[in-house]
Amino acid sequence: MEKYEKIRVVGRGAYGTVHLTKRLHDKKLVIIKQIPVEQMTKEERQAALNEVKVLSMLDHPYIIQYYENFLEDKALMIVMEYAQGGTLFEYLQQRNGNLLDEEEILQFFAQMVLALRHVHSKQILHRDLKTQNILLDKKKQVVKIGDFGISKVLSSKSKAYTVVGTPSYISPELCEGKPYNQKSDIWALGCVLYELTSLKRAFEAANLPALVLKIMRGTFAPISETYSEDLRSLILSTLYHDPLKRPHINQIMAQPLLINPIMNLHTDMGRIPCTRVHRPLSSLPATARGRMSIRGSHVLARDSLSGKPTTLSSVYCWGGGLNAPVKLPLPSSDTQVMQVAAGRTKKAAVTRNGRLFVWESLGVGEGILPGTSTEAPSFVPRYLEGQSAVVIQHVACGDLFTACLTDRGILMTFGSGANGCLGHGNFNEVSQAKIVEALLGYEVVQVSCGASHILAVTNEHEVFAWGRGDNGRLGLGNQETQCTPQPVPIPNNLSARSVHCGVDCSVILTSDNKLLCCGSNRYNKLGMDEVLVGGEPTPVHSVEEVLSFSPVMTLPLSSLAVKEVAMGTSHTALVTVDGRCFTFGSNQFGQLGVQATSDDDSCMPRCVDSLNDLLVCAVACGDTFTVAVTREGRVFSWGKASRGRLGRRDGETSCPHLVTFSGEDPFTVISLSCSHGNTLLATKPISRATSPLE
């Protein structure tokens, strides 16, 4: 320290003390960070040395300059540049709510971009970029990025794993404990830019779990319209949940919005080269930008011969008073529906670009007096509220609630909280989609809703269940109701591929195409009765309900390789890997697809013979009817026909009957869903794509 004169202590941190000192040979003010090393663990010493290593690799006018380091009094001394203007955080706090001009914001931001580009060019992640670590010169015009104490040097273009950083600025992938790279710094940079425009953090909460929820939902206060659309679009682009969709630092530099601020900076770097990028947001015409969401633009398909717009997808509905398939309205002509879900009171869909919307009914399908009917109900599509920066990939509907799954494996629920169906630890109603906190540490890949319970399966083949528990439908070995997700034991080390909820029962389809069932076995709808092959149809052992997931017992179910399964109120249908359709359970209304007879008490599984010449790829069950789709895109229904359940006006039929769609071009089926007396069917023109149901 003989070369320096201590002036005062300007800060104290977790690792040591920060002194303002004067360098004696040139009277220059410098900062010395004093880090005691004797009492430190090996990891703490490594963190201190890491800052020295990182700083020594960096040399840039907008990064705090490193001078030297030395050991003295059993402490590591790091000598760095002194920024007299304090932190950017302090500067914004002193504004007293007065917003910065866009020109000043861009001047600050351009310097940060150049500094971060230099950091990333050295294969370094900052990992703690925030306004408290961005310093200013005396005139508060020049930015200096500092505090590289937890930075990481990547040996290659790999990803890091350690969860570090200040909570308000950490990216969604860090929240989920997933590997990350430079795109996490881009997220933090976007948070800083938002703070420059709003004078407050994008994500703030009273505690860490609440903060993580806000980050994962991607919800923040709107950006002031005082600022240009280009600037607001730039902020949104940096806050994509999917890191692959966030711009690279060179793409940010290439934004026309930033070119002039960068060129006007007085640096010794010379002219800054800008990387050409493909259609940056702000280079699009204003009319095109106005149609863009955070997920990107919609593309309207056109017929290759006529040049006329073509329909990307259609959704049909029947039942509930609709006696024939009715095409439901979509939010826009370029909406491309990828999956639909039907509940007793809900009809929902997910689009290709990750938007979730529901159809609200504006009419009632039956009259006041029995046997009378009113005009057919009309439906209006409405997007899910509060879905900013969240990409939905799957939806499931219960009686009065909905569950949706993001592309990051985060499960969200909303609607009625009766029976604890929402999984939030209470029985409260939730109007907007809310993350199921208990599953934040898991990557959920599929979810299914019953009338009053939910099952979810993770990428590690773990199964969780919650909601109403009577009949043992949760598979937890008891009949207790659960308002938070509970891990479900799976027998014999089997792994779950998908989960399926009925009204009062549940099924797990395993990775080796076998069925595990629990809940009510009324009418042997779970195939749990033991029946002698070739003997009397009366079961040797009849099972009323099963409290834990167990293999099916009724032959030939235990020997089938099952691809799809669906449950109605009192029957079940499945599709085998080789395209055959089997049904079992009650056949009171012909819902098994065979003629109902007086000796049907056995409820034996049977193949739907009339479909044997066709390859069935999907099946769904309503309360007393069944719908099947073949690989050729033909749709069949059978069972009880009242209130349009079968998509036609005539009566019950135990024979599969082709559902007709008048005046429509050939299509492939994308998604099928039934609930109680309703059916939803999503399709694409046959020339557009092959059905994913295959």
* Residues annotated catalytic, as ranges: 128
User: Tokens 């039934």 label which residue?
Assistant: 674
Q: What does the alpha-carbon distance between residue 428 and residue 485 come to, in Å, rounded to a whole number?
A: 16
End-to-end C-alpha distance for the chain, whole angstroms: 74
Q: What does the alpha-carbon distance between residue 509 and residue 475 come to, in Å, rounded to a whole number?
A: 14
In the chain, what is the greatest distance between 2 CA atoms, to the nearest angstrom? 107
What does the block give as tokens for 182?
Answer: 């430079």
Displacement of CA 547 from its chain's centroid (Å): 31
What does the block give as tokens for 689?
Answer: 């794509």
Judged by DSSP in three states, 17 sits in: strand
Q: What does the alpha-carbon distance between residue 80 and residue 18 come to, in Å, rounded to a whole number?
A: 10
What does the block give as tokens for 599?
Answer: 């000796």
What does the block give as tokens for 509?
Answer: 């389809």
Residues in the chain, overall count: 694
Side-by-side strand order, sheet with 606-607: 562-567, 571-576, 581-585, 606-607
User: Tokens 């930075």 label which residue?
Assistant: 151
Angle between helices 102-121 and 182-198 (to 10 degrees): 170
Judged by DSSP in three states, 290 sits in: helix
Q: What does the alpha-carbon distance between residue 624 and residue 405 come to, in Å, rounded to a whole number?
A: 29
Q: Judge contact between 343 and 677, C-beta under 8 A.
A: no
Check residue 179 and give left, alpha or beta (phi > 0: left; psi -120 to 50: alpha).
Answer: beta
Reported as half-sphere exposure (CB side, CA atoms, 13 A), residue 17 has a value of 8
- For residue 135, CA distances in Å to 57, 130, 262, 667 come to 19, 10, 19, 60
Side-by-side strand order, sheet with 616-621: 616-621, 625-630, 635-639, 653-658
Burial class from Cβ neighbours inside 10 Å (0-12, 13-18, 19+) for residue 368 reads exposed
Helix H or strand E encompassing 195: helix 182-198
Q: What does the alpha-carbon distance between residue 62 and residue 134 come to, in Å, rounded to a whole number?
A: 10
Q: Judge contact between 445 and 476, C-beta under 8 A.
A: no
Check residue 533 and give left, alpha or beta (phi > 0: left; psi -120 to 50: alpha).
Answer: beta
Q: Judge contact between 116 and 249, C-beta under 8 A.
A: yes
Displacement of CA 106 from its chain's centroid (Å): 32
Q: Judge contact between 211 and 220, C-beta under 8 A.
A: no
Q: What does the alpha-carbon distance between residue 357 and residue 354 come to, in Å, rounded to a whole number?
A: 10
Check residue 675 and give left, alpha or beta (phi > 0: left; psi -120 to 50: alpha).
Answer: beta
Q: What does the alpha-carbon distance between residue 203 and residue 250 come to, in Å, rounded to a whole number?
A: 26
Q: What does the alpha-carbon distance between residue 100 and residue 95 come to, in Å, rounded to a whole number?
A: 8
Backbone dihedral angles phi then psi of residue 666, each to the nearest 5 degrees? -55, 145
